[in-house]
Amino acid sequence: MTLNPISAPVDSASEFHKIQSRPASIEVKNISVAFKTPKGTFTAIQDIDLTIQKGEIVALIGHSGCGKSTLMGTISGMTQPTSGTVMANGNLVKGPGPDRGIVFQNYSLLPWLSVYQNIYEAVDSVFKGKTSAEKREITEENLKMVNLWPHKDKLPGQLSGGMKQRVAIARAFAINPSILLLDEPFGALDALTKGSMHIELLKLWNLDNRNKTIVMVTHDIEEAIFLSDRVVVMNNGPAATIKEIVDVRLPRPRNKKDIVHDPAYMEIHDRLMGLLFDKFSIEDD
Amino acid sequence: MKKLLNIQTYLPLLFGIGSAVILIGAWWGISLLTNREIPSPLMTWSVFNEMLATPFYDYGPNDKGIGNQLISSLIRVFSGFGLGSLVAIPLGLLIGSSKTAFRLINPIIQILRPVSPLAWFPLGLLAFKAAEGATIFIIFVTSVWPTLINTAFGVASIPQDHKNVAKAYGFSRWKYIIKVIIPFALPHIITGLRLSIGVAWMVIVAGEMLSGGVGIGFFVWDSWNALSLEKILSAILIIGTVGLLLDKGFDWLQKRFAFA
Ligand SMILES: Nc1ncnc2c1ncn2[C@@H]1O[C@H](COP(=O)(O)OP(=O)(O)OP(=O)(O)O)[C@@H](O)[C@H]1O
Ligand SMILES: [Mg+2]
């Protein structure tokens, strides 16, 4: 079987993904985050409300610096909100937890550990009850998933940006969290690798009967539509809020090549472009 | 073949010869100016060779070969330095990772660090009732600071990114120390050790002049009493060379443990 990462159907199940009847996975309630800076407090995001159902894939888009990573930080528990609360799987978020796998925007690999060890240490730390053979197997599986098994002994400094990103993705997947928080996970990848990573992400999601909730920040509108059930568009900061949430009611499995000709796709695409670029027009004569 | 003819290949060697010429030239000049009161390089060279011909002779407690003297000194240096590092590294890890510990201990470091090693000697004598213990004690007390400060600095400068990994994946305290703090701080720790061994090697000469016995410092003092300036100059060369080798050793370690 040959796998064409771009045009192959990505899902095996054909039934339309029903999410509205599911319980909430992430509840962001009236969140504000202000940072103390030498010039006074800087409010990055303000009064954000967002409920994400279990099994939903949500994309977060907005201009650079608007507060996407900050919002992700409050969900992951890495950032304490100044006011408001976040619930994840029904529990109040007080800090990071193994139920939420994070891919940081800047990869955050430990430079003195090999690719293999970077993943193994995370696996080892989360699956305390498993034997080391089981933990090694999980590590191997996930490294193979991102095609980095041949590079397992390299140090992060010897990897390209895209390879580092794939290590970070494998690490987040390896701990098998019910919520995946991906901050521009595919940003440094070329189109082809990006395409196969999309497939891998959806495969993983299908494998678990679409029970995993995925929130991802992206600057790529096509990627956002192809992958997600809803696209959250944020305003520009400071004190950024949610501008609009666009539903992506395209049936799954979606085919990357065909989907772009779907009128519904084009409508969503135009809507998102409009939301992101309403203030800009190119002056050209 | 081309490479052999290239001047670049020989540059380090040429510069090496150049500095040797400057050193020996200056030495010779001073020797002439002082009417040979300072022995010339040639006079020193013959004594130096004699000393190196039988480095391990032993004619009683006050007359031992230069090799014996060096070994005694090195044993003292490494004892004091080793003990100092055993205290400095864990303490540095502690004050680098805890603001409270830093604020409690930093003032003490700042006050004790500038104290001359010789000022500690009487305390050492009092504590150990022996010159040997006192010498190791002053090596300990002066070589502890660079490692302590560098370790603490290294730990305190761990980037947020690395802390985030540990936090996000729930590393245990132990895993955090072993997989994050120590690997990150290691290059800083080795830099500290390198500075510490340099200080220890400087202090040993002064320490042994006070304590007597066998050792390179005592050897210098003994040679002065015997009015053998050739021996003193030879000893200075040897002290310098050993110091250089110690530094090179830690330089190698530093490169060996540099990541990224
Ligand atoms: N620790 C911090 N201290 C002060 N200001 C911060 C801090 N972290 C983020 N900010 C500010 O908050 C705002 C939002 O930052 P954030 O990283 O969330 O943006 P982003 O939407 O993820 O941008 P990008 O798309 O470029 O990654 C920015 O103006 C940034 O300067
Ligand atoms: Mg960001």
Q: Does the pLDDT at position A195 exceed 80?
A: yes
Q: Does the pLDDT at position B148 exceed 60?
A: yes
Mean pLDDT of chain A: 87
Residues B32-67 pLDDT 10s: 999 988 899 999 999 999 888 888 888 877 778 889
Residues B97-140 pLDDT 10s: 999 999 999 999 999 999 998 899 999 999 998 888 999 999 99
State residue A283's pLDDT score. Answer: 53
In whole angstroms, what is the distance from residue B184 CA to residue B175 CA?
13
Tokens of B9: 């290949």
Our mutation pick for probing the ligand 1 site, out of A33, A43, A66, counting the most ligand atoms within 8 A of Cβ, is A66
Listed in sequence order, the residues at least 6 apart from B108 whose beta carbon sits closer than 8 Å to its beta carbon are: none
State residue A269's pLDDT score. Answer: 92
State residue A13's pLDDT score. Answer: 43
State residue B64's pLDDT score. Answer: 83
Residue B158 covered by a domain:
yes
In whole angstroms, what is the distance from residue A188 CA to residue A160 CA?
9
Pair A103, A185: CB distance under 8 Å? yes
**Whose alpha carbon is nearest atom 2 of ligand 1?**
A35
User: Nearest ligand to the C-alpha of residue A234?
Assistant: 1
Q: Does the pLDDT at position B156 exceed 50?
A: yes
State residue B65's pLDDT score. Answer: 86
φ, ψ (nearest 5 deg) of residue A9: -60, 140
Domain hosting residue B205, numbered range: 65-256
Residues A121-176 pLDDT 10s: 999 999 999 999 999 999 999 999 888 999 999 999 999 888 898 899 899 999 99
Ligand 1 atom with the shortest distance to the CA of A234: 21
For the sheet with A57-61, list strands across it.
A100-103, A179-183, A213-217, A57-61, A230-234, A242-247
State residue A66's pLDDT score. Answer: 92
In whole angstroms, what is the distance from residue A3 CA to residue B100 CA?
58
Please, which pLDDT band fits residue A23 given cuts at 50, 70 and 90? confident
Please, which pLDDT band fits residue A189 given cuts at 50, 70 and 90? confident
Please, which pLDDT band fits residue B10 given cuts at 50, 70 and 90? confident
State residue A208's pLDDT score. Answer: 78
CB atoms within 10 A of CB B37: 9
Pair A285, A268: CB distance under 8 Å? no
DSSP secondary structure letters along A35-68: EEETTEEEEEEEEEEEEEETT-EEEEE--TTSSH
User: Nearest ligand to the C-alpha of residue A35?
Assistant: 1
Q: Does the pLDDT at position B4 exceed 90?
A: no
Q: What is the pLDDT averaged over residues B25-36?
A: 92
Given an 8 Å threshold on Cβ–Cβ distance, is A98 in contact with B184? no
Q: Does the pLDDT at position A79 exceed 60?
A: yes
Please, which pLDDT band fits residue A188 given cuts at 50, 70 and 90? confident
End-to-end CA distance of chain B: 35
Residue B141 covered by a domain:
yes
Our mutation pick for probing the ligand 1 site, out of A31, A32, A37, A42, counting the most ligand atoms within 8 A of Cβ, is A42
State residue B106's pLDDT score. Answer: 93
**What does the radius of gyration of chain A's CA atoms come to, in whole angstroms?**
19
Q: Where are the beta strands (DSSP E) in chain A?
A: 24-37, 40-53, 57-61, 83-88, 91-92, 100-103, 179-183, 213-217, 230-234, 242-247
State residue A281's pLDDT score. Answer: 52
In whole angstroms, what is the distance from residue B199 CA to residue B197 CA?
5
Given an 8 Å threshold on Cβ–Cβ distance, is B162 in contact with A110? yes
Please, which pLDDT band fits residue A197 given cuts at 50, 70 and 90? confident
Mean pLDDT of chain B: 91
- Interface with B, mutate which of A112, A135, A139 (most B CBs under 10 A): A112
Q: Does the pLDDT at position A279 exceed 70?
A: no
Which domain CATH number covers B89?
A: 1.10.3720.10
Listed in sequence order, the residues at least 6 apart from B51 whose beta carbon sits closer than 8 Å to its beta carbon are: B65, B66, B231, B234
DSSP secondary structure letters along B152-178: HHHHHT--HHHHHHHHHTT--HHHIII
Q: What is the pLDDT averaged over residues A266-277?
A: 90
State residue B130's pLDDT score. Answer: 87
State residue A145's pLDDT score. Answer: 86
Tokens of A83: 């006011």
Domain A22-99+179-276 carries which CATH code? 3.40.50.300
Query: How far does residue A214's CA lie from ligand 2's centre (Å)?
Result: 16
Q: Does the pLDDT at position A4 exceed 80?
A: no
Q: Does the pLDDT at position A26 exceed 70?
A: yes
Sketch the domain layout of chain A as residue ranges: 22-99+179-276, 110-176
Residue B104 covered by a domain:
yes
Residue B192 covered by a domain:
yes
Query: How far does residue B186's CA lie from ligand 2's centre (Å)?
Result: 31
Please, which pLDDT band fits residue A12 given cuts at 50, 70 and 90? very low
Q: Count of domains in chain B?
A: 1
Give the Cα-Cα-Cα angle B4, B9, B10 (nearest 5 degrees): 100
Please, which pLDDT band fits residue A14 given cuts at 50, 70 and 90? very low
Given an 8 Å threshold on Cβ–Cβ distance, is B169 in contact with A97? no
Q: What is the pLDDT averaged over residues B62-81?
A: 91
